[in-house]
Each structure stands twice: as C-alpha cells, then as structure tokens.
Structure 1
C-alpha cells in the first residue's frame, strides 16, 4: 500500500514536470519553426513565447525559502518533561509504532507529526511530534491521549512517508500558477492549463489525505474509546475558538499598549473555565452541523469524523486519567509562556509585564483612548484649538452635534431624525471620553471579564447623573452645564486629551 501511494504521488509530480516540459518544448519548437519560415512573424511571436517560457521555467526551478522551514516551537527532552514523554511512549507502544525522536511544543491549536525521509519515503531518518500549547492547557489527559494517538496513527499507517512528496508537488504547481501573468495572452492560456492540472492533483491528494485522517481517527478510538475520541474532537473546536478569542480579545489589546501579562497561559486557562464563556463554548461543542466540505481540504468535515468514530463503538478503557493535561508538565506556565514567546513578535521582550488585572486596565485605557480620539480631533477641526474634552463641549454648546457625528446622517429621514441619529452616536463617544477621563484621573479602574465585556469600576465617585448630563449635552437643548459641573466635581480639567497609557 505504501509503495502504491508513493507511486501515485510520484507519478502525479512527474506528470506535472512533464506537462511543463512539453509546454516549454512546444513553445520553443514553434518559435524555431517560425524563424525558419517567417522571421518577421517569429519576432512578433517572441513577444508572447519568450515571457511565457521564462515564467514556466522560473516557477518550476525556483527554490523558495520560507520562514516555516525552521522548526517551530520549543523542543522538550525526556529529561525536561518526563511525564509527557512517558505518555507519548505509552501511546506509541499501544499503536504499534516507534515513538518520535523529537517532541516540540508549538503555539497553535494543533498537533502533528512529520518525518524526514529518503528514497521517496521508504527510509525514515527522523520523526518529530508537534503538540499545541493551547491543547496542553485546556484538554484532559484522556483527550490529549486521543489527539496524540491520532497523530501516532499516521506513523503506524506510514502516512507521513508521503507528505514530503505531496508538499513538493503542491508547492511546484502553486509557483507556476501564481507566476503566470494573466494579462499576457499566452500566459493566461497556460495558466488555465496548469490550474486544471492543479485541481486534479489537489483533489486526488486531498482524497488520500482524508482517508488517512479517518484511519488515524480509528486508531485513536481504539486506544481511548469512541466516546473519548469524539469528545476530544469537539473540545479541540472549542479550544480553537477560545484561543482566537484570547489572542484577539485580550492579548492583542494590551500588546498594542506595550504590555504583556506576567503569566499568559494562566489567563488562557482562566478564560477557558470562566462561567461567562461557558455558554459559547458549550454551543460550539454541541454543534452537529458543518459547512459544505471543501473538495481540496485535507481533513473530512468534523461532523463526518465524529460520526465515523462513534459508529466504531470502541469501548473506553478505564486506565486513562481525566485530570488536566497540564499535570503532565513540569513548570507548565513557564514552559507554555516560553512557547508563545517563541512564536510572537521579537519585540515581546520589550513589553512591560504586569498582572492580569493591570493588563486589562491598561488594555481598556488604550482601547478607549484610540476610540475617543476621533471625537476630540473632529471637535478641534470644527471649533479650532486643541483636541480636548473642552473643545468637544464647546462644539456641543454651539449645537454642532451633526458635525461631530462619526457618520454623515444626511440620509437619515428629516432634520429632526438626522439630529437624533447624530446625537445618539456622539453621546456614546462622549460617555466613553468622560469615563476615560475619570479613569485617567484616578477615580475608576477598568475591568474586562473573560467574555471581553468592559466596564468601569468607580468605587469612590458617584456617576448616577452622568447619563442625564450626556443626554442633555447632546440633545436638542445642547446644554453642557450639568456635564461641566460633574467634571469640575471630579477635578477633570477641560484640557483633558485622550492619550494611550
């Protein structure tokens, strides 16, 4: 079976190069024939043939260098992480395959295996396993065992032997397809030829990959049971969502302000367990629908994979622990933070480290400083002077609320409707600006829960009248007296300008 798969992969790759050679040879032969019989026509034809020939040859022979060629993540040795290695060795023995030579922890919601091979994948020189740090942080040991058994199943089925050949073929075809100038007539025609071949190649290779995934799922179910294997697949989907939410809804905002939390993964594990996040994660776990399958996707739809796993009805052995997978690691927070630091920007070491409460506070400060900058800048353009809170109040006193609005309200009904629309938008930004001023002057502190909901805590200052003051300032009366009195009581100068922390 391995030889048959290898022969198919090699045949398709060779077929691609033969196709390129045939097209180049045909164009060169056409040019020579034209020179023999009609030199002037040959010269004109050369304006099409030469660039097309060069594009095909350059795309085929170019050896691209990618940052991904470097090994990702952080390598962990058996001495550094004995329990993790013991788990991998135990699973490898049950799967019936030699364990990997390397384990690398990566910063993605993913696990994978790869092999360095020779002679078309028939001789293995090194095996590597990649385990995502978010999986270690959020899965149970039983679920992690399922994920790792799936990956080691690829070893047992010799799937990884062909990965190099498949990747080589995909990269070669992609270089040619991308390298064609479709505004050039002949290259546009050649582009269609290569795209057609690429579709066939991708479909065949993807079909093989999907069969491999289902076979590896069967190995996983056999090792940990169908229920645990299906649970792991559902949980990986939830972890993917929560990891994206963590990076973009929490980490990125503080990063932009120049800060990082002292323990990144402590925050991620806290978010994954937070009550306010559970309804969303439970909904993801319970979803039983998939989008239409992409014919070029290397993995079957998750719904189909879970159905196939559950159909096996494999019993669940009792000797797999339900404790958190983090218990397998020595110094888990330190290790997982180091992994993330290897994957993010090199400026990470220059960020200021703070606890999570402070991190969320400065994140919100930075967020609202940027959000309210538009209002003060617009007020300065309307009234002249500096972009300050006082300039915004002066614009409101002058009944310029429509001009202060973030969008042109001219298409919203009549004059009254347009003003009401503008007042509502300006009121939202004005309240954010006042709250930012209260926070900056020490009256309050921002809090962000793990569902990324922001609120300002004001333990010593009463802002009960703030909504009414905002409404009065932006409404038809455009009277800022009450708002100015509240600001004066808080000791907030009208020269306040929103600035990042």
Structure 2
C-alpha cells in the first residue's frame, strides 16, 4: 500500500525544499505561503469595501476579489491536505482522522460552555477564574460525556464549496485512505500532556481570547460565581413579580402576599402583562405569571437562606435544600395558577422551611 497522499499533494502556493532524509515523515519541509495568502484576502476585502462610493470601480474589483478568493481558498485547501499528510506520516492516519472527528464535537461543546456557563457568569457581572478548568469539568460530567459520545458516532456532515478554506471532513478522510495503519499502540492521553505546565498555558491562552466587557469583570472561582449568577438569572422575573405584587397589595410583597394574589391569578397576570407593556392571550399571560412567580419564590427562598443555588455541569443550574435535594417550584406554581389552589405550593414551601414572610424587599437583595 502506497504511503502517498491522495489526491497527490498540490504544491500550489508552496515552496518545497527536499531534504537529505529518506524518512517519510521528513521527506520534505516547506515554507507555506499561508500568511501571504491570508493577508492578500484581507487586503482585497478591505479594498472592495473602501470603494463603496465608486460603483464602477467597485464592480470591477468585486469580480477580481471573487477570482482571488477562489484561487486563494484553493491554495488554502491544498495546504491543509499537505499538513494532513505530514501529520499522518508523523503519527498515523487513524490518529488524525480521530482528531478531525473530535474537532466539531469539542467546538459544539465549547460554544455551549461559553453561552451557557461563561455567559451565565457574565450576566452577574463576573467571569470564571478558571475558564478552561470549567470546560474540563463540564466535559467530565457523565450526562455531557454521553451526549458527546453520541455526537462522535457520526462523521461530520459538510457540504463542500469552492470558497471553503478547508476541505470537508469526508474529503480529508478519503485523502488519508492510502496511509498504512499505525504500528504503535494508541496513546489516549490528552494533547495537553505534551505541555510542561498545561493548566497555566491553557488559562493564559484563554485569557488572551477574552474580549469586550469580560476582560474588566472580576474573576472568581465557580463556587463563588454560582450564588451570584443564580440570583442574577432570576432577578428580572422576580423583580417584576415583586413590583406588581407590591402595587396590588398596597404593601411590601412577601411570599405569603404573592401566594394570596394567586387566588385571583387572572388579575395578577393582567397586572403583570400591563406592567410589561404587553397585550397577550390569557394562556400566554398565565405562562408569564408562572415564570415570574417561580423566579420570585426562588429568589426569596435563597435570600432567606433556606435554599441555595448549585451549579450542574450536566444541565441547568439547580435550586437545592440543605440536604442537597433539588427543589423546583414551577409545577406547583403552574397548578396554583391553573386551578386556583395554592395548598400544594404552601406545602412545598413549608417542607423546605421557607417562611411565608420571606421576600426580596428590593432588587438589590438579589445580588447576594
């Protein structure tokens, strides 16, 4: 079986220098034109964008830009094939295909982590001190690991385009088909094992990636972020419910007062939607009231010290009691609104020890 790369590596845009070594891994070394190609693309795009007041010239340069992009992206794809060939010779095609299959899985996980966890922290005005550490903890969660394992079972599905800078996974996998399987046992250690101080390097690299307001936010460990971010998460709904209930009651709202208003949930829901400046159907108004009251009860219970927030790396943040059991007021609140029966809700609050006179007093109470 040949060790050649299929399709044969194109040397377009690449300067090749043959070495004296006969090793397949070191048969050639090359100096790629990738930086020049990239800078060329940027300059062409900038030139076309700068001609917005010159429609005729812009049309001419736009055609040139498309041609340049087609050629330069082809060069980029060839360079990726060449890099794959070098990697396969140094390690094995199996290892490279495995890594290529893993990239979209980790990419999806990273996007979810940034939006669902780092974004959750940022909503509270803080950022995690250990960004990569949190990501690793999420990946290690059993529920997450099972989901990621399912994603790995299928090859990435991509539709090729002449404007792609990289070949698709299927194209790269096919190009590696003629490489001999590895004769060495698989090494399942993470790539970070190659770094002398992996944790420090990864955190510094991540810090360099942070942008915008995140860079100026206080950096805290996840254990300190959780109570802040949990309260920040429910703050909008809780504050809205508190303000509307206080107005309807004519006094500072507490849990007892909010629950009493559920005896006439239609009036409560109408006042809530009016405060939001919304005109909605009755079922939508009931759903909005359910979310607002649920948020209020969670915020008040945490403020009272009876419940706390727990970070769940396998799903949503959880409200827990002293025993560590998950508490969810949502179903009881929904039943109280739909059936005008608050008995089950009062029972649930009593079981977890949340007093009826607990409240949030003001939105400021929600930051602690």
Same fold, judged at TM 0.5 (above): yes
Output the CA distance in 2 between the equivalents of 1:194 and 1:388. 67
Residues 372 and 432 of structure 1 are in contact (CA less than 8 Å); yes or no, is this contact kept in structure 2? yes
Residues 388 and 497 of structure 1 are in contact (CA less than 8 Å); yes or no, is this contact kept in structure 2? no
Q: 1:176 aligns with which of 47, 56, 63?
A: 47
Output the CA distance in 2 between the equivalents of 1:461 and 1:316. 49
| Alignment correspondent of 1:474 | 337
**Corresponding position: 1:167 with 2:71:** no
Instruction: Provide Cα deviations, 1:444-487, integer angstroms capped at 9, x if missing partner.
Output: 2222322332221113699989567524652363x668757876
| Alignment correspondent of 1:359 | 225
| Alignment correspondent of 1:490 | 354
Instruction: Provide Cα deviations, 1:347-372, integer angstroms capped at 9, x if missing partner.
Output: 65761523x34433432222122453
Per the alignment, in what secondary structure is the counterpart of residue 143 of structure 2? coil
Deviation at 1:382, TM superposition (A): 7.3
Residues 254 and 359 of structure 1 are in contact (CA less than 8 Å); yes or no, is this contact kept in structure 2? yes
| Alignment correspondent of 2:148 | 281
| Alignment correspondent of 1:435 | 298
| Alignment correspondent of 1:447 | 310
Instruction: Provide Cα deviations, 1:366-393, integer angstroms capped at 9, x if missing partner.
Output: 2122453444456567788778767855
Deviation at 1:494, TM superposition (A): 4.1
**Corresponding position: 1:318 with 2:184:** yes
Per the alignment, in what secondary structure is the counterpart of residue 318 of structure 2? strand
Deviation at 1:397, TM superposition (A): 5.3
RMSD: 3.9
Residues 311 and 318 of structure 2 are in contact (CA less than 8 Å); yes or no, is this contact kept in structure 1? yes
Per the alignment, in what secondary structure is the counterpart of residue 309 of structure 2? strand
Output the CA distance in 1 between the equivalents of 2:73 and 2:327. 61
| Alignment correspondent of 1:233 | 100
Deviation at 1:189, TM superposition (A): 3.1
Residues 250 and 452 of structure 1 are in contact (CA less than 8 Å); yes or no, is this contact kept in structure 2? no
Output the CA distance in 2 between the equivalents of 1:369 and 1:246. 22
Q: Aligned in 2, Cα 1:221/1:382: closer, same or farther, shift over 3 Å?
A: farther
Output the CA distance in 1 between the equivalents of 2:127 and 2:43. 41
Per the alignment, in what secondary structure is the counterpart of residue 296 of structure 1? coil
Instruction: Provide Cα deviations, 1:173-230, integer angstroms capped at 9, x if missing partner.
Output: 212221233xx5xx23332222111111101111121122112212222221221110
| Alignment correspondent of 1:113 | none
Q: Aligned in 2, Cα 1:433/1:494: closer, same or farther, shift over 3 Å?
A: closer
Per the alignment, in what secondary structure is the counterpart of residue 276 of structure 1? helix
| Alignment correspondent of 1:221 | 88
**Corresponding position: 1:96 with 2:26:** yes
Deviation at 1:441, TM superposition (A): 1.8
| Alignment correspondent of 1:340 | 206
Per the alignment, in what secondary structure is the counterpart of residue 73 of structure 2? helix
Residues 25 and 90 of structure 2 are in contact (CA less than 8 Å); yes or no, is this contact kept in structure 1? yes
Residues 224 and 320 of structure 1 are in contact (CA less than 8 Å); yes or no, is this contact kept in structure 2? no
Instruction: Provide Cα deviations, 1:331-355, integer angstroms capped at 9, x if missing partner.
Output: 322332222223325865761523x
Moved more, 238-247 or 253-262: 253-262
Per the alignment, in what secondary structure is the counterpart of residue 201 of structure 2? helix
Q: Aligned in 2, Cα 1:95/1:254: closer, same or farther, shift over 3 Å?
A: same
User: TM (normalized to structure 2)?
Assistant: 0.76
Output the CA distance in 2 between the equivalents of 1:319 and 1:487. 58
Runs of 5+ unmatched residues, structure 2: 1-8, 16-22
| Alignment correspondent of 1:87 | none
Deviation at 1:442, TM superposition (A): 1.4
Output the CA distance in 1 between the equivalents of 2:215 and 2:244. 34
Residues 258 and 352 of structure 1 are in contact (CA less than 8 Å); yes or no, is this contact kept in structure 2? no
Aligned length: 343
Residues 360 and 447 of structure 1 are in contact (CA less than 8 Å); yes or no, is this contact kept in structure 2? yes
Per the alignment, in what secondary structure is the counterpart of residue 366 of structure 1? helix
Runs of 5+ unmatched residues, structure 1: 8-92, 98-152, 411-417
Q: Aligned in 2, Cα 1:390/1:461: closer, same or farther, shift over 3 Å?
A: farther
